[in-house]
Amino acid sequence: SEPLFSAMMKDVLEIKPKTKEEGLAEFASRGFLLIDATYKPVNHPHLSQKARNALILDDFPLLIEELRKHAEPETGVVLVKANVCELLEPKLTNCGFTVLNRGKKIPFPSTGQQNRFREAVREVLGLEHDK
């Protein structure tokens, strides 16, 4: 399961693709791209928050490389997951990227956080809220 991808498709962009490839194509056609802050597993229960944060920060140069490969600095960046927001918003801003969160922490869409995730992302992206 890919809770972030699923939540972005269903809850934020309100699309229901038949396949992941179809979903990614539609996602991209709307000008969106998902990039992980790190490709190392950070959600193991045996890792402390300090260790998780260190893994994310260690891979920051790789994130910058990926962002520069796929986006211009003025491209809006949305950060998801509270610690990622805290750790990376100032660093990305200092590197010249436009972080749309502006201090708004967006929870990861799992373990009951789906509604808060949807509302926070829609707010940061300036999309209309559900009525």
Q: What integer pLDDT is reported at residue 131 of this predicted model?
A: 45
Cβ burial, residue 43 (10 Å; 0-12/13-18/19+): exposed
Do 115 and 83 contact (CB within 8 A), yes or no? no
Neighbours of 91 (CB within 10 A): 14
Report pLDDT digits (tens) over 30-84. 888 888 999 998 888 899 999 999 999 999 999 999 999 988 878 899 999 999 9
Nearest to 82 by CA among 106, 58, 101, 99: 106
23: pLDDT strictly greater than 70: yes
Q: Which residue has the tokens 């490839």?
A: 21
